[in-house]
Amino acid sequence: MSELPKPAVAVMDADEQQCGMVCEMLRQLDYRATPLHSLPDLQAHLEAHPYAVVILDMDSVAVDNRFFRELKRKFPGIYVLTLSGRSYHPGLEEAMGSHICASLAKPLDQEEFRYWMKCIGENAAARPSAAP
């Protein structure tokens, strides 16, 4: 049985060093990772890759429910994973319940990260409208 194609991944983190570490972890798992350091860069990337996975560090970028709502409205084919050193983000209950696949704690647990990327990859490959 052949391996399913893996989706492109955009890593949005204003901290370039942390972003590089996440991208390297993704490359070790054979994902194409694009480091991004600003929300306008993320917008441009998603216009070219509307079926990407977005990994967003919520500790380095200020986002709210409206941001996630608009992101999913403009790019309904994306999957969003968030990273944070905090366990609670007041005011983001809607985003957590509706627009974010999973929120992972920092530092990243490699096995948990691998699990979520595998689940997202399987779901993306099963979706008929998805493009690799």
Q: Which pLDDT does position 2 carry in this prediction?
A: 52
Of 18-22, 54-58, 128-132, the poorest mean pLDDT is in 128-132
pLDDT of residue 131: 46
Does residue 79 sit in helix, strand or coil?
strand
pLDDT, one tens digit per residue, over 25-44 is 999 999 999 999 999 999 99
**Do the Cβ atoms of 101 and 79 come closer than 8 Å?**
yes
**What residues does each domain of the chain span?**
9-126
The predicted structure's pLDDT at residue 99: 83
What pLDDT band is residue 130 in, cutting at 50, 70 and 90? very low
CATH ID of 9-126, from 3.60.15.10, 3.40.50.2300, 3.40.50.410, 3.40.50.2000: 3.40.50.2300
Q: Please state, in angstroms and rounded to a whole number, the distance separating the CA atoms of residues 2 and 129.
A: 20
